[in-house]
Structure 1
Amino acid sequence: MHLSKHYLTAGLLAAAKFQAAEALFDYEEAQLTVEALNTLQEPERSWFDFDKGAPDPNPLCKPVPGDFEYPPQDVWDRVKAVSGNKLIVSVPQASSCYHGEHFDAAHCGYLTERWQDPYLQTEDPIEVLAPAVQGNTCQVTSNPQGSCTLGGYPSYVANVSAVSDIQMAVNFARNMGLRLVVKNTGHDFLGKSAGAGAVSIWTHNLKQIRHIPNYSAPGTDYTGPAFKVAVGVQAFEIYKAAHDLGLNVVGGEGQTVGVYGGYTQGGGHSPLSSLYGMGADQVLSMEVVTADGKFVTASFDENQDLFWALRGGGGGTWGVVTSMTVKAYPDMPVTASFFRFGTGPAVSPDAFFHGLRAYLDHFEHHADSGIYSYFRINPLPNNNFEFVMQPFFAPGKTVEEVNALLAPWIARLRELGIPVQPRTTNYPSFLDAFYAEFILEPVMIGTVSQGSRLIPRRTFADRAALDQTFAAIRQNLEHGRGILAYNMAPDLKRAGNPDNAVNPAWRESLSHLITHVSWDPRLPPAEIARIRRDFTNGDMKALRDATPGAGSYLSEGDVEEPDWQQSFFGDKYPQLLEIKKKYDPRGLFYVWKGVGSEEFDVRTFDGLPNQNGRLCRI
């Protein structure tokens, strides 16, 4: 008998279906019940029981393997048996590159060739796409004599296929006093799905999609097309499903992003944000397992405070979302433009920066016209620089309309002697444009960390403020820091005036700008820490000083962001903290720089800001 096979009784199941705004998926109907728990003997029953308010068995620090408080192997063996063999013992995939029981030179070669492929990494139960937050303890290498350890990877993974699996994992981690993390695809820059010694809930394989032709529900006046989507569905999957029905949804520009996990819960910007707002603005209801192990619906008329927090208050913080119901929109043609320019024999750095500065004068008009631009500015050797627009994305626009929008800036570039020739193409649908124009974003290397800033509309209306912001951008570039940036306007009006937890800085922004710091991996930890502090307190500070009162995107921010409560959440933080204490008073769902995380500290083994260490209450 496997506990995960127990379902609700018929009466309770009917009640659950009645409460949900949309009928549950089959895996959501498989829920943990008291009747199922009663089939277990002690101590197993107490391991998986719902929260009874007992004291935390490890009130100061969550144990890691080797600690006396960490469960012994026979406990994990029983957990695996009771869960129906859904417990995975974590093994870093790059361990095949190191001498030991997992060494496999051929597999290591395969990994090395594909290591920055997000499709490879998102299919692994423990990998994260920002390796520095894990601690860089097991990366691919050509030196098999090196060291490979779990570091900030979780020790065990619950490969869930039913709500009951999630409830069991939540209850076990809470009752045993263990650290708990949630992983969907691992895209988060701040390492929300990493944690030394943790039990991880891996939601990636929950993949169902249901089309709702005409949604309506109490508490919302929205009626129209929608999708109920399992939490593990990625952008490439929901975009294809919507396309096949002549529809669009708001999702990420990265193909492998898990749209209905941390992306939407953290806000979620999109190629459609200048038309429809943020990902969080699209949600009509959610199903969630909370910290007490209960399975609930959060919507406009059920658990409204939790629903508010889940839409923008950060992933991995409030519970484990199992599905969302989201708005859909009619598909449309899209025009996109690609071009690049840079320094060279006839283009000086000053001319390049004058041309780049001229672009900022058009941000407001472009975003207000529904544009989402995605561009990179790359510092090159010998004081050279390159700008790459890939793409200037214009839903619903014709080639002629896009050319007209770009014409004033292109003319200015040519006046400066900068040759540029846009390639502008019209596509019959969003999906066609998406695959043709957006690059497949690679996984970050382990010696890079990032920071971001949301540049507010008021900056673009004040020439002095805009010049100061541009000076900070130029400073970053001249210090060798590449920039990835966006021009969009996900304001409240476009989003339908939602009331949710999205950082208010998003509503005022016209640009999301990301820069980075890198280091030599051979440096001692103290020197790496200094380099990273200099980034936060130097070039990132220049951007913060130029945009006072603005913010940063919590899913793509600096792990050492100062005053992070304001930067990531704005004036919504006090309300979020109140809701956190209501639904998760123990702090079971801890994430770095997440709501309530100021009560904890990760005591890392190398002193660097990562998840390779004990999680302790301050």
Structure 2
Amino acid sequence: MHSSISRSLLLAATAPVVFGQNITVDNTTVEATSDNVATAAEGVSTTSNSTASYFSSESAQLTDSVIANLTGLNLTGIDLFGFDTTENSAAAKRGVGSICKHMPGDLLYPNWIIWKVFDLLLGGALMQPVPLAAPCYNDHPEETDAWLCSYITANWENNSYIHSDDPTSIMWPLYEGRTCMPTDYPTDSCTQGAYPEYVVNASTVAQIQLAVNFARNANLRLVVKNTGHDFNGKSAGAGALSIWTHNLKSVEFYEDLEFGGYAGPAFKLGTGVQADELYEAANKYGYTAIGGEGRSVGVSGGFLLGGGHSPMSSMYGMAADHVLSMEVVTPSGEFVTASETSSPDLFWALRGGGGGTYGVVTSVLVKVFPKTEVATMTFSFSTGTNVSADAFWAGVRAYFGYIIEYVDAGCYEYFSLVQTGADSYYFGMAPWWAPNMTIAELKELVAPWFADLEAVGITVEPEYQYFTDFYDAWYAIFPLETAGTTVMKTASRLWPKSSWDDATSLNATFEAIRETVELGGSVLAFNIQGVGKAIPDYPDTSISPHWRETCLHAILAAFWDEDSTDEEIAEVSRTLTEDWMGIWRNASVGAGSYMSEGDVDEPDFQDSFYGDSYERLYELKQKIDPWMLMYTPTGVGSEDWYVTDQIDYLTTQNGRLCKA
């Protein structure tokens, strides 16, 4: 498990919302308290359609009888919390048909009385947060805290947990507008930017249902945050109401689950469970779970909903391939089980169609696999006295010649290519991950490539390690991920195996990647495939078909100076999107990109991120969410909306959300 500074300290400025004192009950003005406005939830049976019982958080639900009791109270704005029915005209009255979502200051934006009622119905789970780095500023709501500011600054890029454990902070602050960053100048201004205005710290399904109904009926922008790992700012939104699912961390193990055609071990996971927590639980019971490489990634949230690539993908395929069922609050506020037999269209869409799009997932039921031995290897080489640039690139080109062989063997290689100076380059393998292999078998596999390196004058000194189980290998070999950078933007490409069909196409692939590194780009890449060696047959999901053809998932990064203007950043971004990635797209016509690690400005994102699944996904989106309650940048249906006050190629969520 991870450790971090006390949450009560970091969240000092996100205490429950304090409002005025009175509300109207039966035309009488009284003080609003938990005595006259009870928490809106009813305990229901723990039985679920997925065989695995509801968690206690899921058995507390918003039901029709609860809504009937609420409407009888004659509270101000109580109609905003009901389900979508023909009798409930709240949505129409609040302007759901208007061109833009309501923002603070708008005439139809809910007033303090309604937010007070909302908080009471939630049982005190409503927060009005300030940005994580607000203690660095004099205009912090409490007071400047030099020690806390120093802690946040020191951990901002080196400890992803401080972002995942905060109700609004995201890993890529570029997309919330780079507002309220850590600073040594407390007289600067800390603004809310694209951080949500209010947050529901969800601990029950009923709270999520209330938030969904409220946002839909009041025509508010709604966002969902689990850990904030997404590369495109899907958890940000100016003026939004946010549902924070991070604390839904229940875990239940089933030794012999029988569900559908599956019989075997499985875990039911709350949507807030992170990779380190899942892997620790799986290790406790002697199994291998499929999750992300990063320790703080929320496995059951956007990771799974986007497909989810893993160190085990070359062996077992994508993480979403192994989901048996999901519990989810839909945009209508209904709580349903999604599986092959219950809401099957929704189940199809949730496994790959993207997070924050089709509903708010509260838990998932996933298969696990036998304990796995793993051999690992790390090494690097670079240009230098005895290695020319030509020799360096010859060594990298030799590696590219073995990429298909390595993924077909079930391996996963995580490597980087960086320009370190004029005609100076670095290649780092950190790590090579070889499941079901011994060190001897790994050495035998890579011997031909290492011989090629020696032939061009490159000597490497690998560090090998062997582990009897996945958890120990993963924990030892993958460091805590960095986050919070404000000087970088990334884009990605899923290079297909067809690019290795012959020498001509392989050379074109290699030269395209080499050219962008020589132009100043940095590459972080995964030699990985989306169809597992051990399980070549995969279920019908909405995972991008591009993943099924992939053997190399490559991310290209461009950088700017810390003091760059918005216009200068936009130009760097344009160069990345149009010029550098144009080189990659021209060398891989018809290929795609991974939505969770892609470019928010990706041209034709519908095909790049979703492939030929997009038409079906879009049609289902219109059916499930005709209000477009759940908008995310590059999400399904997002082309029908836009965020105001944007600079081309500097796409943030710091603006009003309006219909296109």
Q: Which residue of 2 is the match for residue 338 of structure 1? A: 378
Q: Pick the aligned partner of 1:36 from 46, 63, 66.
A: 66
Q: 1:318 to 1:108 in 2, by over 3 A?
A: same
Q: What's 1:200 paired with?
A: 242
CA contact (8 A) 2:527 2:551 kept: yes
Q: Which runs of 5+ in 2 are unaligned?
A: 1-33
Q: Which runs of 5+ in 1 are unaligned?
A: none
Residues 569-608 of structure 1 aligned to structure 2 (within 5 Å): 569-604=610-645, 608=650
Counterpart for residue 482 of structure 2 = 442
Tell me whether 351-360 or 438-447 shows the greater mean CA deviation.
Answer: 438-447
Counterpart in the other structure of 1:152: 194
Matched, 1:175 2:217: yes
What SS does the corresponding residue of 1:613 show, helix, strand or coil?
coil
Distance 2:405 2:241 in 1: 48
Partner letter of residue 531 of structure 1? Answer: V
Contact 1:333-1:397 within 8 A present in 2 as well: yes
Query: How much does 1:136 deviate?
Result: 0.3
| Match of residue 69 from structure 1 | 108
- Which of 99, 120, 124 is the matching residue for 1:60? 99
**Alpha carbons of 1:65 and 1:614: their partners in 2 closer, same or farther (altered >3 Å)?**
same
**Cα distance, 1:3 vs structure 2:** 4.6
Q: CA deviation at 1:447?
A: 2.1
Structure 1: how far apart are the matches of 2:152 and 2:51?
43
Alignment of 1:22 with 2:57, yes or no, is no
Equivalences for residues 556-571 of structure 1 within 5 A: 556-571=597-612
Query: How far apart are 1:72 and its partner, in Å?
Result: 2.4
1:466 shift after superposition? 1.6
Distance 1:131 1:464 in 2: 40
Check whether the contact 1:604–1:611 (CA below 8 A) recurs between aligned residues.
no
| Whole-angstrom distance in 2 between the partners of 1:268 and 1:407 | 31
SS at match of 1:17: coil
Distance of 2:270 and 2:68 partners within structure 1: 30
Query: Aligned partner of 1:481: which letter?
Result: G
Structure 2 equivalent of residue 96 of structure 1: 135
Q: Which residue of structure 2 lines up, in the alignment, with residue 359 of structure 1?
A: 399
Is the Cα–Cα contact under 8 Å of residues 313 and 532 in structure 2 kept in the other structure? no
SS, match of residue 181 in structure 1: strand
TM superposition shift of 1:473: 0.9
Match of 1:348 in 2: 388
Q: Does 1:426 align with 2:461?
A: no
Alignment correspondent of 1:209: 251
SS at match of 1:38: helix
**Matched residues in 1 for 2:365 and 2:48: separation?**
16
Whole-angstrom CA distance in 2 between matches of 1:288 and 1:590:
17
Contact kept? 1:492, 1:507, Cα under 8 Å: no
CA distance in 2, matches of 1:161, 1:498: 32
Alpha-carbon separation, structure 1, partners of 2:85 and 2:557? 45
Between the aligned partners of 2:200 and 2:288, the Cα distance in structure 1 is 32
Q: Which amino acid aligns with 1:286?
A: M
2:427 aligned with 1:397: no
Say if 2:378 and 2:464, in contact at 8 Å, map to a contact too: yes
What's the offset of the Cα at 1:252? 0.2
What is residue 454 of structure 2 aligned with on the other side? 414
Amino acid aligned to 1:391: P
Q: Distance in 1 between matches of 2:412 and 2:633?
A: 29
Matched with 1:105 is 146
Range moving further from structure 2, 440-449 or 593-602: 440-449
Determine whether 1:457 maps to 2:487.
Answer: no
> What secondary structure, in the 3-state scheme, does the structure 1 residue paired with 2:144 have?
coil
The answer on whether the counterparts of 1:152 and 1:196 sit within 8 Å (CA) in structure 2 is yes
Deviation per CA, 1:78-131, whole angstroms, max 9, x where unpaired?
322221111110200111111223421111111111111101111000011011
Match of 1:79 in 2: 118
Please say if 1:530 is aligned against 2:565.
no
Q: Which whole-Å deviations, capped at 9, do the CAs of 1:520-543 have from their partners, x for residues lacking one?
A: 343332332222112111001111
Say how many residue pairs are matched: 611
Shift in Å at residue 546 of structure 1?
Answer: 0.6
Q: Which residue of 2 aligns with 1:224?
A: 264
Moved more, 113-122 or 604-613: 604-613
Deviates more, 1:521-530 or 1:313-322: 521-530
1-structure distance, mates of 2:370, 2:221: 43
| One-letter identity of the residue aligned with 2:552 | S
Q: TM-score by structure 1 length? A: 0.96
Q: What residue is the counterpart of 2:516 in the other structure?
A: 476
CA-to-aligned-CA distance 1:154-174 (integer Å, 9 cap, x gap)? 111000000000000000101
Q: How does 1:494-573 map to 2 (within 5 A)?
A: 494=535, 496-573=537-614
RMSD: 1.5
CA distance in 2, matches of 1:3, 1:135: 38
For the pair 1:189 / 2:227, whether they are aligned, the reply is: no
Q: Deviations over 1:15-48 (max 9, x none)?
A: x725343211111000001222233333342121
2:295 to 230, 255, 262: 255
Structure 1 distance, partners of 2:573, 2:519, is 14
Partner Cα distance (1:495, 1:199) in 2: 42
Aligned partner (choices 43, 50, 62) of residue 83 of structure 2: 50
State how 1:223-372 maps to structure 2 within 5 Å. 223-372=263-412
Shift of 1:143: 1.7
- TM-superposed CA distance for 1:435, in Å, is 1.1
Contact 2:646–2:652 under 8 Å retained in 1? no
Report the AA paired with residue 387 of structure 1: F
Displacement of 1:214 in angstroms is 1.3
User: For 1:7 and 1:443, how far apart are their aligned partners in 2?
Assistant: 40
Residues 4, 356 of structure 1: alpha-carbon distance in 2 compared, 3 angstrom cutoff: farther
Contact kept, 8 Å, 1:4 with 1:165, in 2: the verdict is no
Task: Tell me the CA shift for residue 482 of structure 1.
Answer: 1.2
Identity over aligned residues, as a percent? 46
Does the 8 A contact of 1:134 with 1:153 survive in 2?
Answer: yes
Return 94-103 or 189-198, whichever deviates more.
94-103
Q: Distance in 2 between matches of 1:28 and 1:464?
A: 55
> Contact 2:560–2:569 at 8 Å: present in 1 too?
yes
1:4 touches 1:164 (CA, 8 Å); kept in 2? no
Q: Is the 8 A contact 2:410 2:532 kept in 1?
A: no
Stretches of 4+ moved more than 6 A in 1? none
Distance 2:38 2:591 in 1: 49
C-alpha distance 191-400 of structure 1, shift in aligned 2 (>3 A): same
Structure-1 separation of matches of 2:190 and 2:478: 34
- Asked if structure 2 preserves the Cα contact closer than 8 Å seen for 1:281 and 1:495, the reply is no
What SS is found at the alignment partner of 1:291? coil
Structure 2 Cα separation of the partners of residues 3 and 266 of structure 1: 37
Q: For residue 388 of structure 1, report the CA deviation from its aligned partner.
A: 1.0
Moved more, 355-364 or 442-451: 442-451
Taking a change above 3 Å as real, the CA distance of residues 426 and 523 of structure 1, as seen in their structure-2 partners, is closer
Query: How has the CA–CA distance of structure 1 residues 83 and 211 changed in structure 2, closer, same or farther, with 3 Å as cutoff?
Result: same
Per the alignment, residue 207 of structure 2 pairs with: 165
Aligned counterpart, 2:19: none
CA distance in 1, matches of 2:601, 2:646: 17
Seen in structure 2, the aligned counterparts of structure 1 residues 18 and 28 have a Cα distance that, compared at 3 Å, is closer
Residue among 16, 41, 46 paired with 1:6: 41
Q: Distance in 2 between matches of 1:253 and 1:422?
A: 21
> Aligned partner of 1:568: which letter?
F
